[in-house]
Amino acid sequence: MQKIFLLLAAMAFLQSATAQHTITLLVKNEQTKEPLAGATVKANKTTVLTNTDGIASLKNLPAGQYLIIISHSGFGTVQNSYSLPLPNADTVTILLQPQEEEMDEVIVQTTRTSRTIQNTPTRVETIDGEELDEKNNMRPANVSMLLHESTGMQVQQTSATNGNASIRIQGLDGRYTQLLKDGYPNFGNFASGLSVLEIPPLDLKQVEVIKGPASTLYGGGAIAGVVNFISKQPGEQLEGDFIFNQSNIGQKNIGGYISKKKNKFGFSFLTLANFQKPYDVDKDDFSELPESRNVTINPRVFYYINPSTTVMLGNSFTKGSNNGGDMQVIDGKANAEHTYFEKNETLRNTTTLEIDKKLQGNNAIKIKQSLAVFKRDIAIPGYSFGGTSTNSFTDASLLFLKKQHTVISGINIIADNFRQKNTAQQKIKTFTAGAYVQHTWDAASNIKIESGLRADNVQYKNAGYKNRQTFLLPRVSALFKLAHNITSRIGGGLGYKTPTIFTEETERMQYQAILPLTNVTAEKSAGLTADVNYKTTVGEDLSVSINQLFFYTQINKPLVLQKNSGGNYFTNAAKPVTSSGFETNVKFIFKHDLKLFAGYTFTNAKATYLTANQFLPLLPKSKLNLTLMYEKEDNFKLGLEGYFTGQQYLYNGFKTPSFWEFGFMAQKTFGKISGYINFENFTDQRQSNYKTVANPPHNNPVFDDIWNHTEGFVVNGGIKLKL
């Protein structure tokens, strides 16, 4: 009997020893208690990643003792020992403590892969919440200051009296940059001259920038790059930000953002009102800044049906009025000599619906739908132009997360219609149906490759012309970890831009005498970027990072504005537009408090179809950005900035002088309240210091190209409240 008992015990022991067991871990942020996707879980030679719910399972493990290591970029590593089988089958919760945030340790959304920058083959630059807060002090009304002071980017003013502007990346016209808000492409075309002026920074969590072709996920228009403005999401704790700002140039900003999540519901609400008095700094009777009123209201509601399903419904409403030109006309005192004005009346309403469903394993499906209506009326003496642009965007995507592979595939449909007011002369319709797939492969611990392919079928037409084209857009990028502190990325792809009458040049003309498109075809592009990133520490207190980027883009069959007796018309040039150059970025951080950033951009952009001067106008070859910041967290911050802009060519072929500008900012925090003051361009660098922008006759002026600041020195200050 004893022998039988010993035999049974031995068999039980052997069965237990050879049994296969599973341990399931839920990894969360210790501070916010939010699940962490993409965390690495290691046990012996087994490695898995947490899914979008922060869950990872180690399966088929024999009984025994295991040291499990859990790590995530931007968080401290946790090591725990577990004896399998566990006493119970409950999921083990692991809390990771956030470390000091670095710009390359945030999770990016624009690539849709829930990866950190250091693990993403596509080169993505992020502007984080801290920098957004600083720039919010300088220009609370919109994001123009934020983008203008970023390396390789330029906000180009297109109106001397009304302040309209567009975004350029690597020297290319603003129509080649895709602007997104939370992944929705609801800007551009007729709104292009005002889009950057109607995006408030108050509700932004971060801004993500892809420079170079980004066609796989975003299709037409993403030739020069993509700028994605990411909104804050409601959390378990109530979050609120409120601001009151006043400047010496007559600008006042009042706004607030609030959000919270509770049980199955969450909400966020943004409201911002901007008021600007007409401002004439050089006393030439013409406004450098228009009289303007602008209000934005953006509520969003979140319904968390269950832990794996979220529905978001939002609506953004913006109404604006800009009235620039002769100061006496603005004041209602027009006479025979004082007659010039330039008015812009705008209304934008965008409704968004998003359904996010997490599937079994590491998969997820997301459906996005938006409907945007933009109305605009432009008026100058003896002429007016107005219309309504309607944009519908639908996107359905499926995400697969495996051990070494991330695949996202989807389809989208975009319908964009513009109808000119009171006439059918400019009645433009564009319909795009596309499908895409993108694969990110962790080929080795030091090599990650991302490849994608997009197919778009595009039909564009107006009253007298229509065309249909199909585009295949491949794209590939790779990340190489050459050493523990050296990485390199290289990427390239194709792109296209559907023909449009809405460009920087026609915006400057208020669309006067622009003939409907006819016999034109889409612009096609090929682009390449490559960079090297180096990080090191000097002693215990100083960290240094250096990034060197090279870029090249060629746009074939560029759309060029010509003139004949009938008016202004577009045609495709036979030779391409090219843009090449490099960006150098250096950052020093001393004891986490003192930061020095230096960025230099060299851009060589040419219109090779021209026979004389081929350099693109209003584009400096050299730009230098310098920022010195000293900060004691939750106490105070001081910032000094300097910017150098090199010589530029005007449309008439003349060269402008180079110039420097400087700014200083100070902020003091008292608990939840902060006070700040900002001295922007305190050396009063402006174009009218060289020559008046408005040329005679006074009642029918001709304005010079805008190559410098128009408003000059600005001092503003305010109060911020953070809940």
Domain holding 197: CATH number?
2.170.130.10
CA atoms within 13 A on the CB side of 346: 25
- The least confident of 88-97, 107-116, 524-533 is 107-116
Tell me: do 135 and 90 sit in the same domain: no
Report the distance separating Cα 309 and Cα 296, nearest Å: 29
Q: What are the structure tokens assigned to 326, written together? A: 């002769």
Residue 557, pLDDT > 90, answer yes
Report the distance separating Cα 222 and Cα 237, nearest Å: 37
Note the Cα 336 to chain centre separation in Å: 46
Tell me: do 483 and 588 sit in the same domain: yes
Question: Looking at the DSSP assignment, which residues form a beta bridge with residue 560?
Answer: 571
Amino acid, single-letter form, for residue 101: E
Q: What is the pLDDT of residue 248?
A: 95
CB 670 within 8 A of CB 663: no
CATH number at residue 72: 2.60.40.1120
CATH number at residue 558: 2.40.170.20
| Main-chain dihedrals φ then ψ at residue 17, nearest 5 degrees | -70, -35
Tell me: do 475 and 503 sit in the same domain: yes
From start to end of 99-238, where are the E strands? Answer: 125-127, 153-157, 165-169, 177-181, 204-211, 225-231
Report the distance separating Cα 228 and Cα 178, nearest Å: 8
Q: Which of 213, 228, 243 is the last residue of a domain?
A: 228
Tell me: do 63 and 51 sit in the same domain: yes
Q: What is the pLDDT of residue 193?
A: 61
Report the distance separating Cα 201 and Cα 231, nearest Å: 9
Residue with the two structure tokens 């950052």: 587
Q: Which of 77, 96, 115 is the last residue of a domain?
A: 96
CB 325 within 8 A of CB 287: yes
**Mean of per-residue pLDDT scores for the chain:** 89
CA atoms within 13 A on the CB side of 490: 3
- First-last CA distance in the chain: 74
Amino acid, single-letter form, for residue 377: D
Tell me: do 438 and 538 sit in the same domain: yes
Tell me: do 79 and 115 sit in the same domain: no
Report the distance separating Cα 118 and Cα 480, nearest Å: 10
Q: At CB < 8 A and 24+ separation, what contacts does 375-378 make?
A: 375/346, 375/347, 375/348, 376/190, 376/191, 376/194, 376/344, 376/345, 376/346, 376/347, 377/343, 377/344, 377/345, 377/346, 377/421, 378/342, 378/343, 378/344, 378/510, 378/511
Report the distance separating Cα 665 and Cα 682, nearest Å: 11
Query: Using the 8-state DSSP alphabet, how is residue 184 labeled?
Result: B
Note the Cα 327 to chain centre separation in Å: 36
Phi-psi region at 8: left, alpha or beta (left = phi > 0; alpha = psi -120 to 50): alpha
| 2 or 229, which is more confident | 229
Tell me: do 251 and 210 sit in the same domain: no
Report the distance separating Cα 413 and Cα 242, nearest Å: 37
Question: Looking at the DSSP assignment, which residues form a beta bridge with residue 488?
Answer: 480, 532
Q: What is the pLDDT of residue 447?
A: 95
Per-residue pLDDT band for 114 (boundaries 50, 70, 90) equals confident
Per-residue pLDDT band for 499 (boundaries 50, 70, 90) equals very high
Report the distance separating Cα 567 and Cα 511, nearest Å: 11
Q: What is the pLDDT of residue 386?
A: 93
- At 714 the three-state DSSP class reads strand
Q: What is the pLDDT of residue 104?
A: 46
Per-residue pLDDT band for 458 (boundaries 50, 70, 90) equals very high
Question: Looking at the DSSP assignment, which residues form a beta bridge with residue 94?
Answer: 27
Query: Using the 8-state DSSP alphabet, how is residue 646 labeled?
Result: -
Element (H, E) at 255: strand 251-262
Interior angle at CA 523, CA 512 and CA 407, nearest 5:
130
Residue 307, pLDDT > 50, answer yes
Handedness of CA 375, 618, 628, 74 (dihedral sign): positive
Query: pLDDT tens, 152-186?
Result: 898 888 888 777 788 889 999 888 988 899 999 87
Domain that holds residue 174: 103-228
Query: Using the 8-state DSSP alphabet, how is residue 73 labeled?
Result: T
Residue 15, pLDDT > 50, answer no
The sheet carrying 125-127 orders its strands as 125-127, 204-211, 225-231, 177-181
- Between the alpha carbon of residue 508 and those of residues 131, 441, 559, 706, the distances in Å are 31, 46, 16, 10
Report the distance separating Cα 338 and Cα 695, nearest Å: 14
Query: pLDDT tens, 674-716?
Result: 999 999 999 999 999 999 999 999 999 999 999 999 999 999 9
- The least confident of 5-19, 404-418, 489-503 is 5-19
Q: What are the structure tokens assigned to 605, written together? A: 């952009």
Q: Which of 96, 118, 150 is the last residue of a domain?
A: 96
Tell me: do 189 and 314 sit in the same domain: no
- At 34 the three-state DSSP class reads coil
Q: What are the structure tokens assigned to 506, written together? A: 């026609």
Strand 40-43 and strand 20-29: the pairing is unpaired
Q: What is the pLDDT of residue 300?
A: 98
Q: How many domains does the chain have?
A: 3
Tell me: do 110 and 217 sit in the same domain: yes
Report the distance separating Cα 598 and Cα 624, nearest Å: 7
Q: What is the pLDDT of residue 194?
A: 65
Tell me: do 460 and 596 sit in the same domain: yes
Question: Over the range 18-27, which residues count as b (16 or more CB within 10 Å of their CB) and which as e?
Answer: eeebebebbb
Greatest extent of the chain over all pairs of C-alpha atoms, in Å: 122
Spatial neighbors of 3 by CB under 8 A, at least 6 apart, are: none
358-376 mean pLDDT: 91
CB 178 within 8 A of CB 212: no
Strand 239-247 and strand 714-722: the pairing is antiparallel
Q: What are the structure tokens assigned to 172, written together? A: 């290319």
Q: What are the structure tokens assigned to 630, written together? A: 């000293």
Residue with the two structure tokens 């493990």: 61
Q: Rg (Cα) of the chain, in Å, rounded? A: 28
Q: What is the pLDDT of residue 550?
A: 97
- Single out the residue of 646, 634, 535 nearest to residue 593, CA to CA: 634
Q: What are the structure tokens assigned to 365, written together? A: 């499906």
Q: What are the structure tokens assigned to 433, written together? A: 């149906």
- Single out the residue of 450, 432, 560, 588 nearest to residue 501, CA to CA: 560
Tell me: do 566 and 617 sit in the same domain: yes
Report the distance separating Cα 101 and Cα 39, nearest Å: 16
Per-residue pLDDT band for 586 (boundaries 50, 70, 90) equals very high
Spatial neighbors of 321 by CB under 8 A, at least 6 apart, are: 292, 293, 294, 343, 344, 345, 346
Query: pLDDT tens, 276-306?
Result: 999 999 999 999 999 999 999 999 999 999 9
Q: What is the pLDDT of residue 2?
A: 52
Q: What are the structure tokens assigned to 437, written together? A: 């797939």
Query: pLDDT tens, 383-425?
Result: 999 999 999 999 999 999 888 899 999 999 999 999 999 887 8
Query: pLDDT tens, 599-652?
Result: 999 999 999 999 888 999 999 999 999 999 999 888 999 999 999 999 999 988
Tell me: do 383 and 510 sit in the same domain: yes
